[in-house]
Amino acid sequence: IVTNSVTAGSLYGGSDAAAQGLEALLGIARPGKIEYNFARTLRMTTFGTLVAGPSLGAWYPLLHKVTVSFRVKYKPKFAWGYWGSNATKTYVRKPLVEEGANNWAEVGVKLLFDSLFFQAPFLTAYFSITGALEGLSPTRIMKKTTENFHAAWFYGVLLWTPVQMANFLFVPVPAQALLVNVVNAGWKTFLSCLYHARDYGNKGADECTVAELQGVIEEQRGTIELLRTQLEMLEGQGRQ
């Protein structure tokens, strides 16, 4: 778990650094951004260390245990009972004689379980936790998650289906989380560039800046009105 956490934290931080570099290179960085956002990289490193690393490190061994029935079979064993001459039948678990006989069935079940019971909740947790670390309100976190989830889910299915198929077929269970973390580094870079291109790539910098300023003005309208009232009171006192 510790190794997975440290590795995931480093990879997530590195993926954000790469994403910020690509966003600047492609001209899709947030308008008004003039320097590297260290706080954003710290948020990603924190998520990788405290959430992604431990959860992935625990999930794949658990998934392997849940699908144990594909790797063993129960052979009947007969024994004489204490009463009479009837034989009683018990079952003893034995490893499959043909080791790869049910591999494809096992991989299919693992893919299904991973997609339904891990990837979807993990993606939701990613948007929610990073939004909370960013200081967003619950309403904005919900909006951000709703806007981004479906596109991320769609592209995720295209990416993770072949990756996980190879992962479950060829990679030892203790190393499966490591492979996922490595691929996740590139995946998070892609998602970041995708969302920045969607939000800022089709707009001029001036248009985006005006929209952002209008939002700030709306949020601070109450403060502006209060300052205006105080200014009028001071002017009235000056005339007296």
Of 78 and 58, the structure prediction assigns the larger pLDDT to 58
- pLDDT for residue 204 is more than 50: no
Q: What pLDDT, on a 0 to 100 scale, did the predictor assign at position 218? A: 61
- Number of Cβ within 10 Å of residue 28's Cβ equals 20
What is the pLDDT at residue 101?
Answer: 46
Alpha helix segments (H runs only) across the chain: 2-26, 38-47, 53-66, 103-114, 120-134, 138-170, 173-196, 205-219, 221-239
159-191 pLDDT, tens digit per residue, is 999 999 999 999 999 999 999 999 999 998 988
The confidence band for 69, taking pLDDT boundaries of 50, 70 and 90, is confident
pLDDT of residue 207: 47
